[in-house]
Amino acid sequence: MLFKQQAWLRQKLLVLGSLAVGSLLYLVARVGSLDRLQPICPIEGRLGGARSQAEFPLRALQFKRGLLHEFRKGNASKDQVHLHDLVQQLPKAIIIGVRKGGTRALLEMLNLHPAVVKASQEIHFFDNDENYGKGIEWYRKKMPFSYPQQITIEKSPAYFITEEVPERIYKMNSSIKLLIIVREPTTRAISDYTQVLEGKERKNKTYYKFEKLAIDPNTCEVNTKYKAVRTSIYTKHLERWLKYFPIEQFHVVDGDRLITEPLPELQLVEKFLNLPPRISQYNLYFNATRGFYCLRFNIIFNKCLAGSKGRIHPEVDPSVITKLRKFFHPFNQKFYQITGRTLNWP
């Protein structure tokens, strides 16, 4: 009898212990989440909101990962939209490029900030005539739900190199903030080629080697008709944008540094967007298996970029790399001069 009582008591203690540990883990997770999502500094003057910090309750930002997610899935009602004062805002900042510069990584990392809401998909409104013809309200409805105090950001890398885009964006908002993330031009061109090559291989199609595309076989000079090369002449594209926007509305992000040392780059973007500094080293951890940084929103929710990021580049003839870097050098120097940012490119 005594043995049965002791066994019963041990079982009860185990159950109570499990409940206690579970409750403790929940509280820790909750505190971790609330710590990241505490009310942000007043930014209504910049982001167009009418409420003060005191009027913007803590739970509003908690909904950023909860209720807003339900809206993206289509699981929330119009009454909830009205109740929680949610809106679909036009972006106040756009990542306009550059393709294979790290636009997805930059967008996901900025989304760590509680005042930022991202458009998950590339909308291609300004560079696609059919989409642009649908009007600005169509574009707005492609934006995520957010609070008025939050800032919506979208990214479409084709914007940077498409001729009609600067004027179209200017007509929407002449004071918009524009983010350009760039990598060393030759590396970016090879990365561009690698993505196209992978797509061809998936369809069992053959493709030219990079060297044959990047170098004109008739002149043995750099082939500026090759799109991957043209895209890397950053200054040529930027000059077109400067016909509509002053340089102060642009911020250049070093895509190479974002890979190896992301926090300083993100802090510069926070400053450019006039956001209170909230992204910290806690939010970024290096994943040795993936070979780059992943994101930590709280102690429960982590996120790494898709496996398609960080593709291994094919080997390229060193003489071609040297020729390309020599070709890009004067354009790079002009880019540094215009933007006021010097990058450590060979």
* 291 annotated ligand binder: no
Is 194 contained in some domain? Answer: no
Distance CA 294, CA 108 (A): 10
Mean pLDDT of 285-297: 86
Task: Give the pLDDT confidence score for residue 137 in this predicted structure.
Answer: 97
pLDDT in tens, 297-343: 887 778 888 765 567 889 999 999 999 999 999 999 999 999 999 99
pLDDT in tens, 203-250: 988 899 999 999 999 999 999 999 999 999 999 999 999 999 999 999
Task: Give the pLDDT confidence score for residue 221 in this predicted structure.
Answer: 97
Is 335 contained in some domain? Answer: no
Residue 262's domain comprises 63-183+234-311
Is 282 contained in some domain? Answer: yes
Distance CA 37, CA 114 (A): 6
Judge whether residue 73 has pLDDT over 70.
no
Is 22 contained in some domain? Answer: no
pLDDT in tens, 9-44: 555 555 445 544 444 444 444 334 333 333 333 333
Judge whether residue 91 has pLDDT over 90.
yes
* 103 annotated ligand binder: yes
Contact present, 119 and 144 (Cβ < 8 Å): yes
* 191 annotated ligand binder: yes
Is 100 part of the annotated catalytic residue set? yes
Can the peptide bond before residue 98 be classed as cis, meaning omega within 30 degrees of 0? yes
Please give the single-letter amino acid code of residue 2. Answer: L
Task: Give the pLDDT confidence score for residue 82 in this predicted structure.
Answer: 59
- What are the two backbone dihedrals, phi and then psi, of residue 70, each rounded to the nearest 5 degrees? -65, -35
pLDDT in tens, 162-202: 999 999 999 999 999 999 999 999 999 999 999 999 999 88
Task: Give the pLDDT confidence score for residue 311 in this predicted structure.
Answer: 74
Is 162 contained in some domain? Answer: yes
Total domains present in the chain: 1
Task: Give the pLDDT confidence score for residue 128 in this predicted structure.
Answer: 98
Is 209 contained in some domain? Answer: no
Task: Give the pLDDT confidence score for residue 28 in this predicted structure.
Answer: 40
The domain that contains 273 carries what CATH number?
3.40.50.300
Is 37 contained in some domain? Answer: no
Catalytic residue among 12, 64, 73, 100: 100
Is 304 contained in some domain? Answer: yes
* 141 annotated ligand binder: no
Three-state DSSP at 311 gives: coil
